Amino acid sequence: MMATKLTVKVLNGLTNTHLNITIMTKFKKRITLALVCLLTLASNAQSKFATLSGEIKNYDNQSFLIDNKSLGLSMDTVNVKSGKFSASILIDYPCVKHIVIGRFYKPLFLVPGKSLNFNFDLSKGDGAFRYSGDLATENVILDSLNQRFWTKLIPLRSLPARIAAHSMDSAFAEDKMYLDAQIATNKVDSTFAEYVKGSLDYQCAEEKLVCGLKEEIKDTTYSSFTKGMTIENEKFLDSREYRFFLYYYLGCSTKNAVNKLDSIKRQSDEAYFDKTSNIIEKYKSVKIKEYCLFDLVYSDLAQGGVKGFNKKYDYFKKHNTDSVYAQQMRKLYAKKMSLAPGNVAPPFTCIDLDGKEVSLSDFKGKYVYLDFWATWCGGCRMDMPYLKKLQSEYKDKNIVFVSISLDRNIQNLKDFINEKKMEGINLFVGNKGFDSDVARSYQVFGIPSYKLIDKEGIIIDAGALRPSSDEIRKVIDNLLDAK
């Protein structure tokens, strides 16, 4: 807008000069106001970033990983040069981001517009983290809280669901009291207590839901503790604890809905997808709705591959408006095409429990049912009785069952296999777990994960049915009966 283009009339005895001065003055005020607005917008945009910097000693890699919003199915990269790094992390609200450095998995509390610096010596272990910057105190407290938390939680997971749930309530209440005591004696960010307590509530609920799912509790009153919780909480969408809670909350809600169907419909994969998407559609928050839809479809693609995925992908594209989610879905879809049916299965060599090398090529001429799992995986444990039964039924048939453990400690693996009397071919990937070559080549983002390979080493299904599925026997029988 230019002042010379303005046309005005002389009113109330004001001269042209007076009007020109008045107009130019107002115009300058508008320019000033516009500049203030631009600076404010720039400041707000800048405050969406938390600054993360520091140094990692005895670390040979050129980067490390940090959470994004895909529930751990993918992570962003922070570049490291000569051991040093500096990155701006985009976040909407105060949150805990998890980083992966080598074999260390670490939570960090971050706030938009504030900085955190850490120094870490990889050779000295998890206790070697040293913090400075705006959020140093908060992360020292978070470290101590996590140490208390995991020490108490792991033994509770093996208890019967209702007993575990009661004990978890007590354990999380104690953690909140500990947090209050720490905050009372330390100066921390005003959002720290609210965020961490909220995350504890969501994690407690998540753990109780998992216990119920593992025990296959059919009584819907078991999950009544979720009724007093905020299900759609946009401020916590960056929280891994909240996102996992959403995942299991949706899982329980879907399971209750599917159980009302007849036995035939109940077994179809479409039933679970349809019921879950119906629940998501009823959410009021657009952000929560789009995240849950993304997570539902992305997880399905990550675990099941491209076979039978197009209908779900079309549904996602129709209902999603988030460009970031759309981009991540396209990238994963393109990547998963390498494991599409008809492609050559990636070769691998692992070791068995006696240290002998075993390769995929050793099984040429036989169908191969691959099972990626770990001793700490609840879903894997749930599938074990079904897998053992499947192995027994097809013991003398032209199919082998190969279980590839992503555990990092072979002695723990051996003890577990001996205790559970697991059969079949059990292999170990070394201490890299999900970072191992075989897990990466088969794009294993979560476990349990099953793959079916034909007699010539060609992929039949990179998202094969679980052994607990009623349909898996029909699939195997059709393969064995084919000429």
pLDDT of residue 152: 83
pLDDT of residue 12: 32
336-340 mean pLDDT: 92
pLDDT of residue 23: 31
Residue pair 383/369 in contact (Cβ under 8 Å)? The answer is no
pLDDT of residue 126: 67
Q: What are residue 186's phi and psi, to 5 degrees?
A: -135, 145
Q: What are residue 419's phi and psi, to 5 degrees?
A: -65, -40
pLDDT of residue 305: 86
pLDDT of residue 317: 96
pLDDT for residue 461 is more than 70: yes
DSSP 466: P
Displacement of CA 264 from its chain's centroid (Å): 31
pLDDT of residue 146: 87
DSSP 73: S
233-242 mean pLDDT: 88
pLDDT of residue 33: 37
Rounded to whole angstroms, the Cα distance separating 334 from 332 reads 5
Rounded to whole angstroms, the Cα distance separating 54 from 66 reads 14
Ranges 172-176, 212-216, 363-367: which has the least confidence = 212-216
pLDDT digits (tens, 9 = 90+) for 114-166: 999 999 998 887 667 899 999 999 999 999 998 888 888 888 888 888 999 99
The token duo for 27 is 């115009």
pLDDT for residue 414 is more than 90: yes
pLDDT of residue 21: 31
Band of pLDDT at residue 483, cut at 50, 70 and 90:
low
455-461 mean pLDDT: 96
424 Cβ contact partners less than 8 Å away, ≥ 6 residues apart: 387, 391, 400, 401, 402, 403
pLDDT of residue 29: 41
What CA–CA distances, in Å, run from 112 to 58, 100, 177, 324, 350?
A: 30, 21, 27, 20, 44
pLDDT for residue 112 is more than 70: yes
Ranges 196-205, 261-270, 315-324: which has the least confidence = 261-270
More confident position, 219 or 351: 351
pLDDT of residue 61: 82
pLDDT for residue 17 is more than 70: no
Per cent of the chain over pLDDT 90 is 55
- Computed over every residue of the chain, the mean pLDDT equals 85
pLDDT for residue 318 is more than 90: yes
pLDDT for residue 306 is more than 60: yes
DSSP 7: -
For 375, other C-beta atoms within 10 Å of its C-beta total 17
SS3 338: helix
74 Cβ contact partners less than 8 Å away, ≥ 6 residues apart: 68, 328, 332, 445
Ranges 187-191, 265-269, 339-343: which has the least confidence = 265-269
pLDDT for residue 109 is more than 60: yes
pLDDT digits (tens, 9 = 90+) for 251-295: 889 988 888 888 777 767 688 899 999 999 999 999 999 999 999
Among 433, 443, 459, 438, CA closest to 334: 443
Q: What are residue 392's phi and psi, to 5 degrees?
A: -65, -40
SS3 51: strand
